[in-house]
Amino acid sequence: MSRFDTIVMVDWSGGNDRGAVPKPDAIWAGVVRNGVEEEPVYLRNRQVAEAWLAGLFREEIAAGRRVLAGFDFPFGYPQGVAGAVTGKADPFALWDWLEARIEDGPQRNNRWQVAAGINALFPGVGPFWGNGTRRDLEHLPRKGRDRRGHGCAEFRQVETLAKGTFSVWQLAGAGAVGSQVLMGLPVLARLRRRFDTAVTVWPFEAASGQVVLAEIWPSLIRDAVKAEGDDIRDRAQVRLLARAIARLPEAELNAMLAIRSDEEGWILGLGHEDAQNAALAPTLHPPALKDDCFALPPGVDWTPVPEALARLRDILHPVVGTETVPLHAASGRVLAGDTRALRANPPNPNAAVDGYGFAHSATGDGPQVLPLVRGRAAAGLRYDGTVPPGHAIRILTGAALPEGVDTVVLEEDCRSDARHVAFNGPVKPGANTRKAGEDVAEGDVILPAGHRLRAPDLALLAATGHGVVPVHRRLKVAVISTGDELREAGDSADAGQIYDANRPMLTAILRGWGHEVIDLGRQPDDAGAIRRALDDAAKADAVLTSGGASAGDEDHISRLLREEGRLSNWRIALKPGRPLALAQWRGVPVFGLPGNPVAALVCTLIFARPALSLLSGAGWQEPLRMQAPAGFAKSKKHGRAEYPRARIGADGRVELFKSEGSGRISGLSWAGGLLELPYEAQEITPGDPVTFLPYAGFGL
């Protein structure tokens, strides 16, 4: 039972007030509430922090949310210390003992005196050391090596396993934690008292409270913190720890919280570092594409389509980071990680029909007459009593099975007055009931990373307890049309001009695929104008241009990309579609599509779709291929793949558009997809099986 709605991770401080401007070495708190990450909170001193924590706990408890609150200091001392100091081997006795003695204010506190006082209770010198004040204090040595004969263990058991932890006895010096413990435990003792049974303290108590306090140690994720590059390390630590814990699979967090300790305490997540780092991995900003990634090996001539696709697939990788969005806004978005059920479906054993419920063991063959208990069980209206064996209860579809009920008989198979129900036995045990988790068990992976969410997936996510979803940021795709002859749809045009048909088509396709479109309009065949447009487009994650992509005089896109970007004209053995220009402009991949709308569409569907999908985090996508009999005869040449416009006719056969001319835009609308004819020569006669790629399979 470790489902937490709110994760708060606190980086504590044993020092004085740090001022109004956020600084390192103050107290910082990272919060993830209902899966949504909040900006870490700067808490300038412990008084401010205590008030903030109390307010947060009060608010979350009132809202019915469960809180896991982590603090980066030991919750206990080595075995035996609590008993030696307080007379009781109880860590909370030590918390209260300290709370009664520590005096704390923004500018001064008495931790040195309290530590010296504890030392005085033990023989010899120590165990506390590291007097950080100018005045010498009796019983508190300055150096650790000055100690002797105090009889306390230097480390807790957990610290012998966690490399790099400091001893609770060291009060001063870089990395020391002793002062934080002395100045932290009294605050926790007060919070614990104030919220009473709502708070439990792990691992001394089970992690069952509405608020669970736990000891954490941010060094478990030190590499991710370093990679974050925040100049305030405490801020990065709490942000990432809260994120990691919030994203952990339920079973992992349960395993972490299964540890118990009587007195010393434990570090939450020790031994589970891999899971925490894995939870953070998708958010590390993905690296840019390799420079010159589109370069083809020298001497390559017409590349067959499958080879070109395999190359693209090799070169590209996801380039977008992640964000969390509310479930209702998640349609079309790409899951950033494997998603597990936060709750079972159904959560309870329940009735699958309207009828009467009872214990199967008290029924038999032949006519059955069972007395009815008063009341009924309905969905959302739990019957709290127990149904005795040999009795029945009126029950409606979706109602949780009451205590004593394991079988339901269908209303239509019964006769009933208000007091009895009669039906014919035998009834199958468990009939008409649904078992808890029979559909999905808590913790099951329900959807994999990279899955693009569709409406039915939202139902599954909602049913299994998700209100928010971690997804990839949308891929930004810039679209540019080039050509002096182009006019905007709807404007006036003279006989020498044509309307820009590619941009409305391409922007609509990209939006349909879930990408964010940056429409950069039409550009004349002018190097300066195209350069400016490409510079503008470099804010996107990818660019689609159309026109000017071959090697002619006016093919400025090719020339510019060759001279100032990194261009590779991929001569792909494909019809329709002249060379596909693949290039990088300031590191951003550019797909230079042919100007012809028919060729532009084919190149977009066959090449840009899987490539953009890979960049967007959704993985490589194959088109949907259907086998159907040919409704035509065709003799196809060897040496290139062809994708003519096609559709399935009323007789279930594949028909071809009357012309293969790539200027025939009407054929794009006539068609319901593309025919796929591979590289080799082929003699097709009517009735032969052929491969049809429906538009719908491309997401059109």
78 binds, among Mg ion, ligand AMP, none (CB under 5 to 8 A by kind): none
Nearer to Mg ion, 547 or 667 (CB): 547
Q: Which of 170, 545, 596, 604 binds ligand AMP (CB under 6 A)?
A: 596
Nearer to ligand AMP, 322 or 546 (CB): 546
One-letter identity of residue 256: M
546 binds, among ligand AMP, Mg ion, none (CB under 5 to 8 A by kind): ligand AMP
Positions 479 through 538 that interact with Mg ion (CB under 5 A): 483
Long-range interactions of 195-198: CB distance < 8 A, separation 24+: 195/57, 195/58, 195/61, 198/57, 198/61
Give the binding range for Mg ion (CB under 5 A) out of 410-418, 422-430, 434-442, 477-485: 477-485
CA distance 232 to 566: 38
Residue 597 Cβ vs ligand AMP, minimum distance, rounded to whole Å: 5
Q: Is 186 left (phi over 0), alpha (psi -120 to 50) or beta?
A: alpha
Residue 25 Cβ vs ligand AMP, minimum distance, rounded to whole Å: 59
Backbone angles phi, psi at 531, to 5 degrees: -60, -45
Number of residues that bind ligand AMP (CB under 6 A): 17
Strand 67-71 versus strand 36-43 pairing type: unpaired
Q: Are 306 and 680 in contact (CB under 8 A)?
A: no
Give strand pairing partners of 323.
471
Give the binding range for ligand AMP (CB under 6 A) out of 112-120, 236-244, 280-288, 544-552: 544-552
Q: Is 548 left (phi over 0), alpha (psi -120 to 50) or beta?
A: left
**CA nearest neighbour of 608 among 506, 525, 692, 677:** 506
**Residue 444 burial (C-beta neighbours within 10 Å; 0-12, 13-18, 19+):** middle
Number of residues that bind Mg ion (CB under 5 A): 4
Alpha helix (H) ranges present in 122-232?
A: 157-161, 178-195, 222-228
Residue 253 Cβ vs ligand AMP, minimum distance, rounded to whole Å: 53
Q: Which of 186, 249, 594, 623 binds ligand AMP (CB under 6 A)?
A: 594
Nearer to ligand AMP, 206 or 493 (CB): 493
CA distance 692 to 685: 15
Residues in contact with 338: Cβ distance below 8 Å, sequence separation at least 6, in sequence order: 445, 447, 448, 449
The token duo for 620 is 């490589």
Contact code string over 554-593 relative to ligand AMP, x by CB under 6 A: ----------------------------------------
Nearer to Mg ion, 579 or 595 (CB): 595
Percent helix, strand, coil in the chain, to 5, is 30, 25, 45
Nearer to ligand AMP, 405 or 517 (CB): 517
Nearer to Mg ion, 213 or 480 (CB): 480
186 binds, among Mg ion, ligand AMP, none (CB under 5 to 8 A by kind): none
501 binds, among ligand AMP, Mg ion, none (CB under 5 to 8 A by kind): ligand AMP
Nearer to ligand AMP, 86 or 481 (CB): 481
Nearer to ligand AMP, 432 or 545 (CB): 545
Residue 645 Cβ vs Mg ion, minimum distance, rounded to whole Å: 22
Nearer to Mg ion, 524 or 697 (CB): 524
Contact code string over 486-525 relative to ligand AMP, x by CB under 6 A: x-----------x-xxx-----------------------
Stretch (H or E) spanning 424:
strand 420-425
96 binds, among ligand AMP, Mg ion, none (CB under 5 to 8 A by kind): none
Q: Is 119 helix (H, G, I), strand (E, B) or coil?
A: helix
Residue 482 Cβ vs Mg ion, minimum distance, rounded to whole Å: 6
502 binds, among ligand AMP, Mg ion, none (CB under 5 to 8 A by kind): ligand AMP
594 binds, among ligand AMP, Mg ion, none (CB under 5 to 8 A by kind): ligand AMP
Q: Which of 549, 572, 611, 612 binds ligand AMP (CB under 6 A)?
A: 549
Report DSSP state, residue 383: -
Give strand pairing partners of 433.
351
Give the binding range for ligand AMP (CB under 6 A) out of 129-137, 287-295, 426-434, 548-556: 548-556
The string over 534-552, giving b where at least 16 C-beta atoms fall within 10 Å of a residue's C-beta and e elsewhere, is: beebbebbbbbbbbbbbee
CA distance 106 to 167: 25
Q: How many angstroms from the chain centroid is the CA of residue 314?
A: 25
Q: Are 565 and 582 in contact (CB under 8 A)?
A: no
CA distance 409 to 394: 10
Residues in contact with 441: Cβ distance below 8 Å, sequence separation at least 6, in sequence order: 341, 344
Contact code string over 445-484 relative to ligand AMP, x by CB under 6 A: ------------------------------------x-x-
Residue 525 Cβ vs Mg ion, minimum distance, rounded to whole Å: 6
497 binds, among ligand AMP, Mg ion, none (CB under 5 to 8 A by kind): none
Positions 595 through 624 that interact with Mg ion (CB under 5 A): 595
Quick check: 547 binds Mg ion (CB under 5 A)? yes
**CA nearest neighbour of 538 among 530, 547, 550:** 530
CA distance 465 to 455: 16
- Distances in Å between the Cα of 581 and the Cα atoms of 264, 572, 607, 614 are 65, 10, 11, 19
Give the binding range for Mg ion (CB under 5 A) out of 231-239, 563-571, 587-595, 662-670: 587-595
Contacts with ligand AMP by CB under 6 A lie at 481, 483, 485-486, 498, 500-502, 546-550, 594-597
